[in-house]
Chains A and B, each alone.
Chain A
Amino acid sequence: MYVYDEYDQKIVDERVAQYRNQTERFLAGELTDAEFLPLRLQNGLYVQRLAPMLRIAVPYGLLNSTQLRKIAQITRDYDKGYAHISTRQNIQLNWPELAEVPDLLAELATVQMHAIQTSGNCIRNTTTDQFAGVAADELEDPRPYCEIIRQWSTLHPEFAFLPRKFKIAVCGSAEDRAAIHAHDIGLELVANDAGEVGFKVLVGGGLGRTPVIGQVICQWLEKKHLLTYLEAILRVYNQHGRRDNKYKARIKILVKAMGTDAFREAVEQEWVHLKEGPTTLTEEEISRACGFFVAPDYRELDAEEQNALLQSQCDAEPIFGNWVKRNTREHRVAGYRAVTISLKATGYAPGDITDAQLELMADLADQYAFGEIRSTHQQNLVLADVETAQLRSLWQQLQGAGLATANIGYLTDMICCPGGDYCSLANAKSLPVAEAIQARFDDLDYLYDLGPLELNISGCMNACGHHHIGHIGILGVDKKGQEFYQVCLGGSQSKEASIAKILGPSFKQEDMPDVIEKILDTFLGLRQEQETFLDTYRRVGIEPFKERVYAPAD
């Protein structure tokens, strides 16, 4: 992974000093609430219902064991002993003291971490595929480009006060695991006719109040032009994005208003002046960035031998075999597998992890996975490089810590924002809904029979829980002070991305498990052969679901 040099360290250290000064001025009454607001937001600090919430950046979801141990210690010293993995692969703390945040940031800086631009109207953490570098379907590792974008976007002087937040995702594989169609800018590594790899550039995707699928504005961009082209897009957006209404301020609204072609034209006009300028990437810089993401020291293993051993272990212990089947996936190197650790055990808030679990994960990463851990936008953790022969002892240790829930990709592996229990933006609670659904559908065989199913829950229109792109989406809404839940169906974050359709009038919280059950029954009744929920939905449409869910009781 990327390692800071003295320049990176200096920038982060100076940022901590600047924020310390800002906090002191605020506490001394020299900065107003309105003036302090964007400053604390650009350091990841929200003021929430119960306490401030601090969002720590995990660039493109990559962590080492030292960083994870530091996070564990910070959750004990500054918080209540647990952390939350967000849908942008970041780590959130729910209970820090505002006055202590500068000290907390200084501690993070000692392990090359920060909270810069994890909130505010600026360029946020760039996200990518959690299986980058190990996925068998990968054309090229997206992480070097994520790091190049991270550096370019960090404290960018021109783009710190944009009309609204700005999110970039990069994908380098056949399957899109980074939801690039739902981002302000989506970048996909693709080859042109000559076989040369560059970027397909999508713009104007996004969720929130007005969900939109991103549009392609450049089919193939030469790598060296990446930053100048991004700069041209951001400059058009900074000058022309709406600032009169925060709900119409995202770039998707501008692209819709201008039309994709006119927007592309405006970008090209800006780009004329920037293209081939000093921000043009050099070959040295691209290979420097790539040099941080080389393959670890894999052992040469006999795949057949390894697989035979694993098979016999799985046969001997079906519960282990089941976990291998559900939570591990193929690796491009023979004898290795990528392991997803589910943070979706029933009874725990999705994405939450305790200090002891964080420390265990750090130990396991050192023991089994070259000291590296990844966070996912589905709010789980990944050990990307585990020897097949080590899976069983890894699983045993995970089991002992409540981290071996075998539900990756199934209904109970749901994406869920912190909702009204914590977040001051939320209209409704999301965690009790998640818990009630997990409790109702805790029969694993039933879950596996349903097949891959993405259930995404957001507590408000801001859509942190990505409800628009869940196969089943749930949105908390406020009706005259009462919490209700709207259900939508048929969303997808894949390359065939789609926005979910609203099923109909919203429901009370206590009715949600029944509603989900009716939807699932409808699916099982209509399913042909091995169809997934999304396949069936796309074949039959929303009507049969609507009829069943809103049918008068017998």
Chain B
Amino acid sequence: MPRLIKDGAIIEDNWLEPDAESNAPASTQLLTLEQWLQLRDKSGRGVQLEPGEAPAPLLDHLQHIPLVVVNFPLFMDGRGFSYGRELREHGFRGELRAAGHFIRDQMTYLRRCGFNAFQPADESQLEAFAASLNDFSESYQAAPDQPLPLFRRRH
């Protein structure tokens, strides 16, 4: 079973990777955005966003979605940071997972953008990735992890 970091701890994961070819994905199988859009009963289904798939279509259904995975095929493509933050700003409270080829040094940014689960492509690096969650203990901006910008907290 694949392992990942969730809420600071390393755990095993039950979700299966999406299969774009499948007509009837299993209930524990992540859906591509296209599959998710076509499904009538979306309740309880996890969905994976790719770069270029902004979360707008999910926003009306957030309370019924347990998991949104944002895939990072290339770590230099930072669109997923906006997707994460947008989902949290619209009230998404389920698991928000970064998956793929992001790098350890992006962990703080991902956490700050609202991601609470991290599944890097190289599973052997999980401990090091988890350690980088704490690279910074203070920051200037308001973000999902800290609703108030520093200027509202300074004094």
Contacts and interface: CB of A to CB of B under 8 A. Distances in A.
Given A121-B76, A158-B85, A158-B113, A151 B135 contact: no
Contact of A161 (B75, B136, B141, B142): B75
B26 interface: no
Nearest to B81: A158
Nearest to A30: B128
Interface stretch (B4-12, B16-24, B30-38, B104-112): B104-112
B148 A157 contact: no
Nearest to B149: A279
**What does DSSP make chain A's interface, helix, strand, loop or mixed?**
helix
A155 B81 contact: no
Contacts of B137: 10, 14
A157 B151 contact: no
Contacts, number: 102
B61 interface: no
A148 B75 CA distance: 29
A157 B108 contact: yes
Interface string A141-179: 000000010011011111111100000000000000000
B77 A157 contact: no
A368 B78 CA distance: 47
Interface centre among A18, A39, A155, A227 (most CB of B within 10 A): A155
B40 interface: no
Interface string B141-152: 111000111111
B140 A278 contact: no
Interface residues of A, number: 38
Contacts of A5: 154
Contacts of A10: 137-138
Contacts of B112: 157
A14 B138 contact: yes
A278 B147 contact: yes
Given A11-B139, A161-B106, A282-B151, 13 more contacts: A15-B136, A18-B105, A38-B75, A152-B141, A156-B141, A157-B85, A157-B113, A157-B141, A243-B51, A243-B77, A281-B151, A285-B151, A285-B152
Given A38-B76, A238-B82, A11 B136 contact: yes
B143 A157 contact: yes
Nearest to A5: B154
Given A39-B105, A161-B76, A243-B77, A155 B151 contact: no
Contacts of B90: 273
Contacts of A239: 54, 79, 82
B123 interface: no
5 contacts: A121-B76, A155-B139, A156-B140, A157-B85, A278-B149
